[in-house]
């Protein structure tokens, strides 16, 4: 999607902001439904959820390939592919954690998963760029359908450990409250590009009725406040449900581990930085340097090579160094990469000046992806792996949503002559927050009691 932003926008008669919204809604859908999707693995089984998620994802890709407007693209890509991802991603991490109890062995297989993700990230922009330039962006979605079908056939061979005889009930109200809360928070941030962060740049209207006049408080804060109220209601709901002895969507006790909480913060920021910077750089290259899809994909290649290289080293690094050290080092390298992108990647500089910063940013993120997952998952016993995996994936995808929403809104709404630099600075500020969280991780994290 990133390398084909301008092409898709022109073909569908929409704007870059419209495509930004579909990308953000895709990751937001995953974030909002990842916890419910993870809970369903404890009810329906990991293998069943994985294959079901593939089916929904493939249907979404097919619809997106046929889209003649932004609405159908949003339904296929943002909604159905997001729902499918929320079902198929948690089983991967749950199965690794359940099947491998040793921390170093888990690190190896989490590294394999991260390496596969890095390989996909490296190949995706190039394949997408080639297909977009020589056939159509629709062919990229068509290829997804074929790949998903192949994965579904392979998934039939998955050996899924049996579920307990007594399975939990599904907390429907908890799922609704959490999803609505997350939606309004991220949707509010998305409005900052149109209305600004302080006072509203223009009137905020719904159905022809002006709810906030021009110059009033930005609707960003109103919408985010509504989301916060739903999230508070969600916390109250699961607390009361747990006290009654019923099964909540997720136990509030999962947020009482300092190790896990700090690890979740690092996960959120990692994906915020990665997706936010990718979006900003892609838009900059296509809008300011007039790159096509292939050129954009090639320019992002150093970052994805960095992710792949560091992910491949995950097992060796995990066996030699503490997980918190890897996360801290990853953020340090990422900050250096962002600084180089800010200093070296100017409008009158050669293309290669992007490469050092992109590679270091990718290498830094890749170095800590596996370590952060390991920190969070290993902080909890096997009995709650379904829940913590859902929380972990939800937090990560929320970071992706916020990264595109925040960086994109800054890019659109920044005052002055260099919105690219402003956006990179904002992303760097979040990376610094992640570094501080990594610095505060306990030296010897102990597994939480059941």
| pLDDT of 336 over the 60 cut | yes
pTM here is: 0.75
| pLDDT of 445 over the 50 cut | no
Confidence bin at 240 (pLDDT 50/70/90): very high
Confidence bin at 103 (pLDDT 50/70/90): low
Name the range with the highest mean pLDDT among 211-215, 317-321, 356-360: 356-360
Rounded mean pLDDT of the chain?
A: 82
> Can you give the pLDDT at residue 404?
76
User: CA 162 to CA 275: how far, in whole Å?
Assistant: 36
Residue range 223-232: mean pLDDT, rounded: 92
> Can you give the pLDDT at residue 446?
43
| Contacts of residue 318, Cβ cutoff 8 Å, sequence gap at least 6 | 103, 104, 107, 108, 111, 326, 370, 371, 374
Which CATH architecture does the domain made up of 5-171+247-439 adopt?
Up-down Bundle (1.20)
> Can you give the pLDDT at residue 51?
94
User: CA 386 to CA 377: how far, in whole Å?
Assistant: 10
Tens of pLDDT along 380-423?
A: 776 676 677 778 777 887 787 778 778 777 776 665 567 778 88
> Can you give the pLDDT at residue 318?
65
User: CA 273 to CA 264: how far, in whole Å?
Assistant: 14
> Can you give the pLDDT at residue 232?
94
User: CA 281 to CA 293: how far, in whole Å?
Assistant: 13
CATH 1.20.1250.20-classified regions of the chain: 5-171+247-439
Tens of pLDDT along 137-160?
A: 899 899 999 999 999 999 988 888
| pLDDT of 223 over the 50 cut | yes
């Amino acid at each position: 999607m990133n390398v084909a932003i301008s092409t898709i926008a022109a073909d569908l008669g929409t704007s870059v902001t419209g495509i930004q919204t579909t990308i953000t809604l895709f990751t937001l859908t995953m974030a909002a439904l990842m916890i419910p999707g993870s809970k369903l693995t404890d009810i329906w089984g990991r293998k069943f959820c994985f294959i079901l998620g593939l089916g929904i994802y493939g249907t979404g890709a097919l619809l997106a390939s046929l889209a003649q407007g932004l609405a159908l693209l949003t339904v296929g890509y943002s909604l159905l592919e997001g729902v499918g991802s929320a079902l198929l991603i948690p089983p991967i991490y749950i199965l690794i954690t359940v099947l491998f109890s040793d921390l170093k062995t888990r690190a190896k297989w989490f590294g394999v998963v991260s390496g596969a993700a890095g390989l996909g990230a490296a190949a995706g922009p190039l394949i997408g760029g080639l297909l977009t330039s020589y056939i159509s962006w629709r062919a990229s979605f068509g290829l997804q359908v074929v790949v998903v079908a192949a994965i579904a056939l392979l998934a039939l061979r998955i050996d899924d450990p049996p579920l307990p005889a007594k399975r939990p009930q599904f907390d429907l109200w908890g799922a609704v409250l959490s999803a609505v809360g997350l939606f309004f928070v991220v949707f509010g941030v998305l409005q900052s590009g149109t209305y600004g962060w302080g006072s509203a740049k223009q009137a905020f209207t719904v159905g022809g009725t002006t709810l906030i006049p021009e110059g009033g408080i930005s609707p960003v804060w109103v919408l985010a406040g509504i989301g916060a109220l739903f999230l508070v209601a969600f916390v109250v709901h699961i607390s009361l449900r747990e006290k009654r002895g019923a099964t909540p969507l997720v136990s509030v006790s999962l947020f009482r581990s300092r190790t896990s909480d700090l690890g979740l913060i690092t996960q959120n920021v990692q994906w915020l930085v990665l997706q936010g910077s990718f979006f900003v750089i892609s838009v900059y290259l296509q809008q300011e340097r007039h790159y096509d899809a292939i050129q954009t994909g090639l320019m992002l290649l150093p970052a994805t090579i960095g992710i792949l290289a560091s992910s491949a080293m995950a097992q060796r690094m995990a066996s030699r160094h503490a997980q918190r050290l890897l996360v801290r080092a990853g953020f340090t390298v990422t900050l250096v990469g962002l600084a180089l992108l800010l200093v070296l990647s100017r409008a009158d500089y050669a293309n290669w000046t992007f490469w050092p910063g992109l590679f270091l940013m990718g290498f830094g993120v890749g170095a800590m992806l596996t370590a952060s997952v390991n920190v969070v998952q290993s902080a909890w016993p096997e009995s709650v792996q379904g829940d913590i995996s859902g929380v972990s994936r939800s937090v990560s995808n929320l970071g992706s949503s916020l990264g595109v929403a925040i960086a994109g809104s800054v890019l659109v709404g920044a005052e002055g002559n260099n919105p690219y630099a402003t956006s990179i600075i904002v992303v760097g500020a979040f990376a610094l927050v992640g570094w501080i969280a990594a610095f505060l991780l306990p030296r010897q994290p102990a597994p939480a009691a059941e």
